Structure 1
Amino acid sequence: MTTSLKRERYTPYITFSREEWAETSGDALLQLQDYYDLEQLHGMNEPLTQEEITQIYLPLAHLLNLYVKSSQALHKATSSFLGSQVLKVPYIIGIAGSVAVGKSTTARVLQRLLQAWPDHPRVDLVTTDGFLYPNKTLEANNIMNRKGFPESYDIKRLIHFLADVKSGKERVAAPLYSHLEYDVLPGQLQWIEQPDIVIVEGVNVLQVRPRQQQKDPAIFVSDFFDFSIYVDAAEKDIRKWYISRFESLRATAFQNPESFFHRYAHLSDTATVELATQIWEDINKPNLEHNIAPTRYRASLILEKGHHHFVQSVKLRKA
């Protein structure tokens, strides 16, 4: 550990190898070992092993537990100072990263692990997909092919949602999204009711708009985060994972006649790879390079994955 600290003396982050990071879990393994089901947590074509949880996610959940407890202690101190009970507000964790990099799996695993601690049993997970504009709006503005880019989100609605959550409002609604229908579900909502922690996951959560586009004082989604995570990997690896996932979806979800992508269900193997590659090159790669990856160093912590889809190192921002 000393070597790492010396090596990172003049950077904003401390870098841990996988082995060094695994040493930080403390006694967390004892109370969390039987708290999850691997089959329910991993995503399509995203391997998740007991070793990955033990070496990467348990230490991260342990660290977040310490941060949340510190936040709760500060809340109590503030209440004592003011001589009255200050309304408790949730601790908000943001998780960003490219399409197909595995951020949804990271979010699900952390939600499950963080629920195990008695100090914060209520942990909600919200994805920003629900804050995409409906397809009809994207089509009307001729940006359907830029779905997932910053301009495809109703950022004002997302910021209002986070402001309500962070103000301690008793019930706050988030819109729901269907990956089957590839669209926001009209009138369907996810209700957030004063949880201890809220995890907000999405490609765009660390993005900021250029100041010249601001008409009002700049408020960003990340302004509401107490802690943020960026799931990172080499572009060539994410591209491979995306194509592999697209192939798996063609054989499963795309076979459903209700799926937006049912038109691709009967493509040949070669045509499937060609289509997935074109979508990656035309849409996902530009979004990653121009909008998502530049936000990497705004995160509190970066999980750096290798070609095998497992985390190989961790960067933690210095306090």
Structure 2
Amino acid sequence: MTTDELTKSLEAFTPFSRTEWAKLSKGLSSALSEQERKGLEGIYETISESEVQDIYLPLSELLYKRMKHNMHLHDDMNQFLQKERKRVPFIIGIAGSVSVGKSTTARLIQALASRWPGKPKVSLVTTDGFLYPNEVLEERGLMKRKGFPESYDIRSLISFLTDLKSGVDHVHAPVYSHLTYNVDKNDMQALDAPDVVIVEGINVLQVNKKGKRTPHLFVSDFFDFSIYVDANEENILTWYIERFHLLRNTAFQKPESYFHRYRSLSDNEATEMAVSIWRSINGVNLEKNIKPTRLRAELILTKGPDHQVEQIQLRK
């Protein structure tokens, strides 16, 4: 996409500065305590009180309004059709690069949404669980393309979302272990009649490639609202390096860790390894498959170098 095409596409969004966005909150949602914020933080990302107040409370109120609108529409359609169709979950999709903070955003939204009027049941699912197991990726020569579109079992993900939107009360999602770097065959996440489901992953806004034997449905077809967490790639790489260093000193030290071999790297070696992985895998995936989906989102959160959201763009 050329610069002119990108500029024209972004005209479909209404931009808000941090200050403008913060003023939109009507105080309908309660904030989080310091202890709650700490419990939601990532391993290298803190959550300030101002970030919750300025960014996530207005976003939570917007999402609540969208859910209420869907509920009213559902009731109106039932009345028109003279049928008692069951309500289905309100599904929120969250996309963005590796290390951009998608998981933190998802956890914050989950915590705030669970406080909406009526105390809805809010479930959070990550698409990592729908990666093919490592043995399948090894067999197909895809281990170095883990996270790329072809490394996901999209049919299973589509089937899972179809069940949710069909009103199936009890559904299960596979679970991914970041420690073993593989799908956990001994664990499944149960979702029992959720009111809201947050689906987080780098691939949730991607479209199927032509000629591939994939369903004609897109994952995003099931979303009621979608968010893309954005940042300058230089900042994301810095965060990725920071995370790699932290994991080297923590998770990588465990013998069962897939990356246990990196436990003894020096600081310089760890940085070089992180940069190498980024340049050959994550950066390529971001440029080719993740970043192009940004304009398919309904809302874009753009972060600055300190992880704080600096701009919000909402689709008109």
TM-score, normalization by structure 2: 0.94
Paired residues of 2:9 and 2:295 also in contact (CA < 8 A): no
Rate the CA distance shift 1:240–1:10 in 2: closer, same or farther, 3 A.
closer
Shift of 1:65: 0.4
Name the structure 1 match of 2:163. 164
Q: Which moved more, 1:103-112 or 1:113-122?
A: 113-122
Name the structure 1 match of 2:59. 60
Paired residues of 1:35 and 1:113 also in contact (CA < 8 A): no
Q: Which moved more, 1:307-316 or 1:78-87?
A: 78-87
C-alpha separation in 2, matches of 1:212 and 1:9:
27
Counterpart code for 2:281: I
Rate the CA distance shift 1:215–1:91 in 2: closer, same or farther, 3 A.
closer
C-alpha separation in 2, matches of 1:290 and 1:123:
32
C-alpha separation in 1, matches of 2:164 and 2:250:
36
Name the structure 1 match of 2:247. 249
C-alpha separation in 2, matches of 1:28 and 1:54:
12
Rate the CA distance shift 1:251–1:9 in 2: closer, same or farther, 3 A.
closer
Paired residues of 2:155 and 2:214 also in contact (CA < 8 A): no
Name the structure 1 match of 2:192. 193
C-alpha separation in 2, matches of 1:146 and 1:22:
39
Rate the CA distance shift 1:287–1:307 in 2: closer, same or farther, 3 A.
same
Name the structure 1 match of 2:268. 270
Shift of 1:115: 0.4
Correspondence 1:72 to 2:42: no
Give secondary structure in 1 for the equivalent of 2:161.
helix
Name the structure 1 match of 2:256. 258
Counterpart code for 1:153: Y
Shift of 1:10: 8.5
C-alpha separation in 1, matches of 2:32 and 2:260:
40
Name the structure 1 match of 2:153. 154
Give secondary structure in 1 for the equivalent of 2:208.
coil
Rate the CA distance shift 1:69–1:261 in 2: closer, same or farther, 3 A.
same
Paired residues of 1:28 and 1:59 also in contact (CA < 8 A): no
Shift of 1:120: 5.2
Name the structure 1 match of 2:206. 207
Paired residues of 2:245 and 2:271 also in contact (CA < 8 A): yes
Paired residues of 1:32 and 1:116 also in contact (CA < 8 A): no
C-alpha separation in 2, matches of 1:78 and 1:276:
52
Shift of 1:118: 2.2
Name the structure 2 match of 1:234. 232
Shift of 1:84: 3.4
> Which segments of structure 1 move beyond 6 Å, counting only runs of 4 or more?
none
Counterpart code for 2:108: V
Name the structure 2 match of 1:48. 47
Name the structure 2 match of 1:27. 27
Name the structure 2 match of 1:95. 94
Rate the CA distance shift 1:182–1:303 in 2: closer, same or farther, 3 A.
same
Shift of 1:38: 1.0
Correspondence 1:293 to 2:291: yes
- Percent same amino acid at aligned positions? 53
Considering only aligned residues, what root-mean-square deviation do their CA atoms show, in Å? Answer: 1.8
Shift of 1:215: 6.7
TM-score, normalization by structure 1: 0.93
Name the structure 2 match of 1:219. 217
Give secondary structure in 2 for the equivalent of 1:168.
coil
Give secondary structure in 1 for the equivalent of 2:11.
coil
Counterpart code for 2:21: W
Correspondence 1:140 to 2:142: no
Paired residues of 2:154 and 2:214 also in contact (CA < 8 A): no
Shift of 1:126: 0.2
C-alpha separation in 1, matches of 2:35 and 2:190:
24
Rate the CA distance shift 1:119–1:79 in 2: closer, same or farther, 3 A.
farther
C-alpha separation in 1, matches of 2:252 and 2:214:
42
Q: Deviations over 1:48-73 (max 9, x none)?
A: 10100000001000100000011111
Rate the CA distance shift 1:214–1:48 in 2: closer, same or farther, 3 A.
same
Q: Which moved more, 1:187-196 or 1:239-248?
A: 187-196
Counterpart code for 1:312: E
Q: Deviations over 1:7-61 (max 9, x none)?
A: x9981100000000000111235x3444971111111111210100000001000
Q: Which moved more, 1:116-125 or 1:85-94?
A: 116-125
| Counterpart selection for 1:309 from 293, 296, 307 | 307
Paired residues of 1:101 and 1:233 also in contact (CA < 8 A): yes
Paired residues of 1:206 and 1:298 also in contact (CA < 8 A): yes
C-alpha separation in 2, matches of 1:267 and 1:242:
16
Shift of 1:214: 5.3
